[in-house]
Amino acid sequence: MAGPNTPSTLRLYANARIIDPASGRDEMGGILCNGETIADIGPHLNNGKPRANSVLIDCKGQCLVPGLIDMRAYLGEPGEEHKETLETAGRSAVAGGITSIVCLPNTQPVIDDMSGVEFVARRARKLGLSKVYPYGAVSKNLEGREIAELGMLKEAGAVAFTDGFHTIADIQLMQRALSYASTFGLLIVQHPEEPGLAGSGVMNTGETATRLGLTGIPREAEIIIVERDIRLVEMTNGRLHFAHLSTADSIDAVRKAKARGLAITCDTSPPYFALNELAVGDYRTFAKLSPPLRMEFDRQAVIEGLKDGTIDAIASDHCPQDEESKRLPFSEAAAGGVGLETLLPITLELYHNGHLSLLQAFDLVTRRPADLLGLEGGRLEIGRPADFAVVDTERGWKVEDKTLRSKSKNSPFDGRPVQGRVLMTVIDGRVVFQAED
C-alpha cells in the first residue's frame, strides 16, 4: 500500500471511527480526499477497496475527527521569538491535532493595523503547518485608551477583537467597542480581570495563598468585570465573548445572561477544569497562570458549565514563557503555560471521567470554536477543507516538558499521566504530522 504522502489527487482514509460532532456522526467508515477538500465520507468507503488512482491509508479502527480549532493562543512572533515562533507553535499544534489557531494580538508590534494581520497570514501560509487566524486589538497599541480601526482590521482578515492578556478596563472604551461591534457584526473578546482588584496578586486569594505568604487575586476581580460587561451588552446589543472563565459566580452570571437572550458566549481552558490552586504546591511556577488556578468548588463549577452548555468552547490559552521567566521566585515569575499539545488529552479527561460523551468533548474543540469565529474548519463535510486528525483516544502517555515541541516548556501539566494521542494530522489534504510509534 502506498504511503499517505505518495503523490496522488485522491486519498482514501479507511477503517476509521468517524467522529463528527457537527453532524452527530459516530460510525465506522472512511473519508475520501480530493486535493485539499473532502470529496466523500461515510460507511460505504470502509470496504478497504481504494478507488482508481487513489492512495489507501488504513486508520486501523482509530478515531478520525475534525482538526481541532484553538481559539486562544499567544504565538510570540513577531517580537518575542525567544519564547515561541509561528513555526515552533505550528509544529507543536499539529502534533496536538490542531489544524487552526487563533492568535492573540499581543505581539511587538501589536496587531492593531492591517500590516500586522497580513504578516501573520502570509507567514503561516509559507510555513504550511496549522492555519493561523489573528485577533485584532480592540485598543490602539493595547493601551486601553483609543479604539483601533476595527473595520479595517476585519477587512484585512481579523476574525474577532481582543486586547489579549489585558482587560478592557475603561468602561467607555468597552461601551464604544460593543456598540461598534453591534453595528458591524463583530465579536469582542474580553480577558475578565479587574486590574485594580488584581493588583500585584500572584495566585488565587485564599488559605493556600495565606499559607504560602503570597499576595492573592480575589475571585471578585473576574466576577466584577463579567457582571459589568453583561450590563454593557444589554445597553449596546453587542456580541461579547469571555475568555478562560475560572469562577463559579462568573459562569453562573453568563448562564443567566444567556437565559435572557443576550449575545454572550465564553470559553475556558484545561487548567481550570483539571487543576485547582493546590497545584501551586511549594511555589511551583509552572502553575502560575492568568487567571490563577482557583478553589476546588470553582473547578467543579467549570465542569458543570461545560456539561450544561454554558461554556461554549475550550481553548488552550497557550502562553509560552522562556526558562528565565519561570526560574524566579513565584511572586516574580511570569504567568502562563504552554498548552497546544495538551489541549486534546486534557479535554479527553472529561470523556474518560464520565462528564461528557466523546462527541460532546470533541465538539468543544472543533465545531463550537469554529462557529463562534466563523471559521471553515471544525466539520467533516463534503466540500469542506480536508482538515482532520486520526486519534487514539485510549493511548496513555506522560506529559514531560522536555518532549514538548513548543519552544518554551512551561506546562502546568508537566509530569501528569494522560490519555489520548494524535497519530496523524492532515491539513488541506496534506499529512503534516505522523507519530513515529
Name the amino acid, one letter, at 325: S
- The closest of 372, 365, 168 to 263, measured between CA atoms, is 372
- Grid coordinates representing 189 are 473578546
What residue spans of 35-101 are helical by DSSP H? 86-95
249 an active-site residue? Answer: no
In total, the chain counts a number of residues equal to 437
180 Rama sector, left if φ>0, alpha if ψ -120 to 50, beta otherwise: alpha
Long-range contact set of residues 392-398: C-beta below 8 Å, sequence gap at least 24: 392/62, 392/63, 392/420, 392/421, 392/423, 393/63, 393/348, 393/351, 393/358, 393/419, 393/420, 394/419, 394/420, 395/419, 395/420, 395/421, 397/345, 397/421
Beta-ladder partners of 66: 388
- Grid coordinates representing 426 are 492532515
- Grid coordinates representing 369 are 470554536
**Of 20, 70, 267, 317, which residue is the catalytic one?**
317
Q: How far is CA 381 from the centre of its chain?
A: 22
Q: Are 287 and 280 in contact (CB under 8 A)?
A: yes
Q: Are 275 and 299 in contact (CB under 8 A)?
A: yes
* Catalytic machinery residues: 317
